[in-house]
Amino acid sequence: MPELAITVIGPDRTGIVADVAEALAAVGANLTDSTMTRLRGHFTMTLICTGPPAADAERALVRLGAELLTTVREVEACPDRETGEPYLVSVHGADRLGIVAAVTRVVAAAGGNITDLTTRLTGPLYLLVAEVDLPPGREGELAEQLAVAAAELGVEVTLRHAESELL
């Protein structure tokens, strides 16, 4: 079944999620996986929905007003492919241009696939936390390369296994 990939960004306000979710439900869009968060006062939503044609969802969202920047795109269902082991990369230090580019390039070069990433800038402090799906046996190499990149950027970096305990 085709899915809809939807993004919504707008100035944060009370009720924004309720408005969007209600508009989508009204046209029969079933919200499956989503992530929604506030980034420096902008509320951002990235959603995968199933159900209606893209045009219906688009019309429903446009009716919510020009303050919300929305996109709707029909995409093929595409299951997550995770074959490695979960790791966490944390980077923090003085903000400068190119931290995300340099760190993620190193991760990609080691075969690591980023499955989740958050960055925050607070005052002079820049923070990046990423979940990485890493092929077995590449941890040492990635740790080494991250240390080199971190030294060049003048930031601190840690790589640790995101172990989970099955209970």
Partner 1 sequence: MKLVTAPSAVLSTPAEEVDPTDPAVVRLAEELIETMWASPGCVGLAAPQIGVSAQVFCVDVTGHPKAITTHGAFVLCNARIVEASRWRPGREGCMSVPDLTGDVKRAARIVVEGLRPGTGEPVTLETDAFEARALQHEIDHCAGKLFLDRVAGAHAIFPRKVYL
Interface ranges with partner 1 (CB under 8 A): 35, 37, 80, 82, 84-86, 115-116, 118, 131, 133, 162-167
Q: Which is nearer to partner 1, 72 or 159 (CB)?
A: 159
Q: Which is nearer to partner 1, 142 or 149 (CB)?
A: 142
Q: Which residues contact 157 (CB under 8 A, 6 or more apart)?
A: 89, 90, 91, 103, 146, 147, 149, 150
Q: Which residues contact 90 (CB under 8 A, 6 or more apart)?
A: 127, 128, 129, 157, 158
- The CA distance from 154 to 13, in Å, is 37
Query: What are φ and ψ of residue 55, in 5° steps?
Result: -60, -35
CB of 24 to partner 1, least distance (A): 19
The rounded radius of gyration (Å) of the Cα atoms in the chain is 19
Contact 110, 139 (CB under 8 A): no
- The CA distance from 78 to 71, in Å, is 19
CB of 50 to partner 1, least distance (A): 18
Q: Which residues of 11-40 are buried (b: 16+ CB within 10 A; e: fewer)?
A: eeeeebeebbbebbeebebebeeeeeeeee
CB of 119 to partner 1, least distance (A): 13
Q: Which is nearer to partner 1, 76 or 165 (CB)?
A: 165
CB of 96 to partner 1, least distance (A): 25
Q: Which is nearer to partner 1, 71 or 118 (CB)?
A: 118
CB of 83 to partner 1, least distance (A): 9
Q: Which is nearer to partner 1, 53 or 119 (CB)?
A: 119
